[in-house]
Each structure stands twice: as C-alpha cells, then as structure tokens.
Amino acid sequence: MTEGTGTLHPVADGVHAWVQPDGSWWVNNAGVVATDDGVVLVDTCATERRVRNLLRAVDQATGGAPVRYALNTHLHGDHTHGNSLLPESTVIIAHEATRQGILADTVIDGCPPAWHPVPDWGGVTRRPPGVTFRTALTLHVGERRIELHHPGYAAHTPGDAVAWLPEERVLFAGDLLFHQVNPLVFMGSVEGALRSLDWIAAFEPEHVVPGHGPLIDANTLPEVLDTHRRYYRLVLEAAEAGLRDGLTPLEAARACSLGEFAELPDPERIVLNLHRAYADRRGGAYDPFATFADAIAYNGGPLPTRV
C-alpha cells in the first residue's frame, strides 16, 4: 500500500513496515503491528505531512483500529516528532535515555540551516514517552508479544532499542541498521555500533526492518551486517590515522577513501562519525556545532534533505 511519501509493506501476518525511499536525512522507516486489541506503532516520522500519510495508511490497513501504543527506537526526530500527532490515549514507550534526549532536543523548535531545504516540520511538537525502561520490557497486546531490548551500551545513540516479535521472528532494528545508506553514529559510539551487529545477529530474525533503507531478510542480513562492519572499521582506521598524523576530523575525512560507500546516500556522514571517534579516543567533549560545520564544509554546502 502506497501513501504519497512511503509504502506499507507486509512483513508477517498483521505486521507491516512503512518504508520511505531513499532513507536519507530525515526519511526513515517505521513499523505497524496489528493486534485484536488495537495497533502498535514502531516509530513515527519527521514532519506532519509524512506522519499524516503514515497514519492514513495504517488506518486503511487495519480498518481504523486505534493506535494503543507507540514504541520509539531512539530519540531522533525522524522517528519521534510524530509522537505529538498520535491520540492522547496512545501510550508512548522508549528507553529512558530516549526520553531525556527528546526533552533536550532543540531541532524541533527551529532547525538550524545545516540542511537544505530546511525541513518544514508542520504542526509537530515535543512529546516524550510516558513509559520508559532501562534494559528490556515486554508488551502484551491482544495476542501479540512484543519485546523491547537495549544493547546495554551506546551505539547509534545512548538509548537505542529494538522491537522484537519472537513468534513472528520480526526485528525492528531502528537506526542500528542503515541499509544501502551511510550509517550515522555521531550521538553514540562507533565501537558500540560495531559491537551491536553481533547482538542483532543473535536474535536470528527472519525479517528485519532497518531504520532507513530497504527491508532485510534472513538471507541478506549477514551481508548487511558485514557491510556495516566494513564501514565502522573504515571510520576507526581513519580516526587512528588522523590522530596519528595530527589531522582534524575534517582533514581526516578528506584523506579517507570511502570506496564502496562513496555512492551511497549521505557520504558526508563520515565527518560526523569521525568527530565521534575522535571524541571517544580522546575522552573529551563532543561539539555538535563544530561537527555539522565540518560536514557542511566537506559537502560543499548544506546537507541534502528530502522532507
């Protein structure tokens, strides 16, 4: 089912993925789990227009069933801005660090001109989750069992969570996985993101919904994970070389050959990821303003966005 900016794909009986091409800046995936006691969403979208499209598609696919719960896989606005457009009765659930991050987010109040065009959020407002967890939480809705798990360390962000349907063997991975899109870990940890790949594989899912990009099945998952491993190792090697040679993160990014990742969407993320790797290696503070200024310089102008 297609609704303007995305397509609702059946993944298992009553389980759908909302996939928005091409998965670049602010263009994410979400999930829909239909039960005999209403709908569970996994993430929302960045802008009012995109969220409205998602909710119309959900309404059509489920016969107007109420949205009982919404699960946020992490704090970023492309997955959480739409919280505010859900019914007041919808219970929003996330890791405790995700709640803290949403409350501290300033982008929703007025996006800096790091992107072009500057996203038009529409009528979204900040709405943090009302229920949080630290390590794991199991949700029973109708006949469905949905498990939320945190890896136990920062990866894409400090509060990453996957939504796991053990009976259907469907994993909503959030932004722990970017399929056919350059990964982003500037608010998390490069080492943690690398470590999370084995953690994801241990679920042995039959179907995986990544945070961005096309759907993944059990046959393609090993290569998707290996692609992520190659990328994160590239970042770590570039960081080690840059620190050894006295280069700034921007200089290290310009000296780094992206190889197979050069043609994927958002190659400028190498700069943000190197800033994260430098901060982790040095044990110092991370400066998001300097990071995005360097990404713009690397890109030769504001970062592209399609929202």
Q: Where are the alpha helices (DSSP H) in the chain?
A: 48-62, 77-80, 96-104, 190-201, 221-245, 249-255, 269-282, 288-299
| pLDDT for 234 | 98
Mean pLDDT of the chain: 96
Laid out side by side, the sheet with 170-178 consists of: 136-141, 144-149, 162-165, 170-178, 207-212, 216-217
CA distance 49 to 82: 10
> Whose structure tokens read 């992206």?
258
Residues 6+ apart with CB under 8 A from 60: 1, 3
Is residue 1 predicted with pLDDT exceeding 60? no
Mean pLDDT score, 128-139: 98
Confidence label for 21 from pLDDT (cuts 50, 70 and 90): very high
pTM across the whole model: 0.97
| pLDDT for 274 | 98
Is residue 224 predicted with pLDDT exceeding 60? yes
Mean pLDDT score, 99-115: 92
Higher pLDDT, 206 or 107: 206
Mean pLDDT score, 259-288: 94
Is residue 262 predicted with pLDDT exceeding 60? yes
Is residue 228 predicted with pLDDT exceeding 60? yes
Confidence label for 200 from pLDDT (cuts 50, 70 and 90): very high
Helix (H) or strand (E) holding 92: strand 91-95
| pLDDT for 2 | 56
